[in-house]
Amino acid sequence: MFLRKSKKAKPAAYVIAEAETAVSRQRPETATATVHVRARSGRQRQTERAKTRILMCAVVFVFVFASLGVRLAFISFGQIKAEAPHAAAPSLEAPRAEITDRNGTLLATDLPMISLEVAGQEIWDAHETAQKLLTVLPDIDAVELEQKLRRGRYVDLRGNLTPAERQAVFDLGLPGIHFATRIKRFYPQADLAAHIVGHEEPGKGGVMGMEKVANDWRGGRTMRASIDIRVQQIVEDELAAAMTKFSAKAGWAGVMDVATGEIIALASLPDFDPNAPGAAAADSRRNRATLDQYELGSAFKAFTAAAALEEGLAGEATNYDARGSLLVADHRITDFHGENRILTLSEVVQFSSNIGIARVAAELGPKRQRDYLGKLGLLTRLTMDLPERRAPQLPDRWGPVETATIAYGHGISVTPLHLLTAFGAVVNGGDFHDPTFFADPKRVSERAVFSSQTSTVMRRILRRVITDGTASYAEAPGYFPIGKTATADKPSGGGYNRNTRIASFVGAVPGYAPRYAILVSLDEPQPLKETWGYATAGWTAAPVFSRIVARAAPFLGLAPVNEATALAAFVSGGEAADGASASRKAAIAAPIVERAP
């Protein structure tokens, strides 16, 4: 039968390794030639390699999981901030400076807010998520939210959750819900002093006003603005009422401390709410008082008269022919309601004679006129804290015609704040101060323009404008204000449109020792039956000045005086003015406090 083949025995593989004895390792010089032989099979070698590989893998896994554990521990204890799938919120560690008025009333501050965010890639059901959130936040657009979540979008749903809303959303137990703490800039006074305070935009910081100044003012300190919010409220109320009454297109007004240049109030209407700046038109966000250029008219007569007095070219009683009209080169100058007679310098200002002041300017000459306007800051941009500032618009040439028209405020365009600061130098003893929006400036800029004698004479002249001239409605009993009306026709088509005008009144109180200069302007006020068809400054802007003085005086630390006291200061000149100046400085040093009724 068949014989079964015998299998050949497979040779076993052995590795022969020589090994030294312990004796030979310790004393090689005495060691014999004895060699130990150790045999290992292939299976043993495979087992040893497997053990080595397992050990290496274990080490790698331990290292990886240890690293992850350390990172999670750091994140849990706040040492490392986890990366978010969206733009990082503003840091809580570097808040913007708070802004207050001069008395500590809060104007702008940071508020921590809880924001709700939904990660579209982490949710289970877009429809369920949107509908459940709607039950807690009924003001959201659930349809739009669902569409965004279906596309996997990361949705910043609400930026101002209340603690109760946060808890209600948390209780829904929805996946993909995130809460983040953010900073929101809040303006508790809303639109009050909006152009001074300014506002911020996400990712840009402050974009205008004091907020733009605050971009470089970090660390939680408080920025104390020069404005008094109580006076600001009065100014805005009266200005808004006048705009409504005369159907004016716009208006601006300001109050300045003539001894320091501090702006106590500055209004530009229409305005906006810094909490929602986008809701207002761009035109409303423009600060007309510091950015817009206007031909501000007859207020310039005060500057021309003061320059003539300072140069010794005229005195209070110097006569000027204001009859008929005046021809300068090819330009004929007339008066609006001329006296048609010989006028003194005081009467030229008092009755606002273009003819008379043009004759004064002719004697002064273009060079000296320009020099004085330059010293009054009327030829360059103002040096001040707010970024919103603009240089005046000057004539291309400065000849005899320009000298005559600039004397009464035509042919040169300046900002309203230019006019206010320049007028302060005429009445405060002759010193020009750059305007500032910070309270109690450490260093007050000062530039001498006129002598105290010139300033004293100008105060008397400007008082007569109210008692016997064009601004009788600017009177404020007990405060004896001084000032000048200015009604300027607006340029149009290479000439002037007599039906569109800017009506302004710039004055100071108390008139015998001024502490505050006040400007009020209305853009295109309309005539009324009660004003006998006039819309000039004496009928429109002057009454606003009077009401501001009457209401704001107690907050400004002003007390009414009797006529004898005021008259003595106006008549005696330098001595009385110097005494009043000393009392003014003492009052400035004292804090402004609200008086009890």
| Segment holding 478, helix H or strand E | none
Beta strand 205-206 pairing with 200-201: antiparallel
Specify whether the CB–CB gap between 359 and 344 falls below 8 A. no
116 Rama class: left (phi>0) / alpha (psi -120 to 50) / beta = beta
Identify whether the C-beta of residue 128 lies closer than 8 Å to the C-beta of residue 172: no
What is the Cα–Cα distance from 107 to 497, expressed in whole angstroms? Answer: 41
Inter-residue contact 437 to 380 (CB < 8 Å) = no
Helix or strand (DSSP H, E) at 79: none
Q: For strands 222-224 and 98-100, give the pairing.
A: parallel
Q: What is the rounded radius of gyration, in angstroms, for the C-alpha atoms of the chain? A: 41
Handedness of CA 106, 112, 116, 120 (dihedral sign): positive
23 vs 15: CA distance, rounded Å: 24
Cα 563 from Cα 400, distance rounded (Å): 43
User: CA distances (Å), 567 to each of 76, 479, 586, in order?
Assistant: 77, 11, 22
Residue keyed to tokens 């639109």: 191
Phi, psi of 156, deg, nearest 5: -85, 95
**Choosing from 115, 226, 298, 353, which is the catalytic residue?**
298
**CB 256, CB 228: distance < 8 Å:** no
Whole-number Å distance between alpha carbons of 230 and 122? 52
Helix (H), strand (E) at residue 453 = helix 452-467
42 sits in which H/E element: helix 42-76
91 a catalytic residue: no
Q: Are 451 and 459 in contact (CB under 8 A)?
A: no
Q: How distant, in Å, are the alpha carbons of 466, 549, 587 from that of 516?
A: 17, 10, 12
Residues belonging to the active site:
298
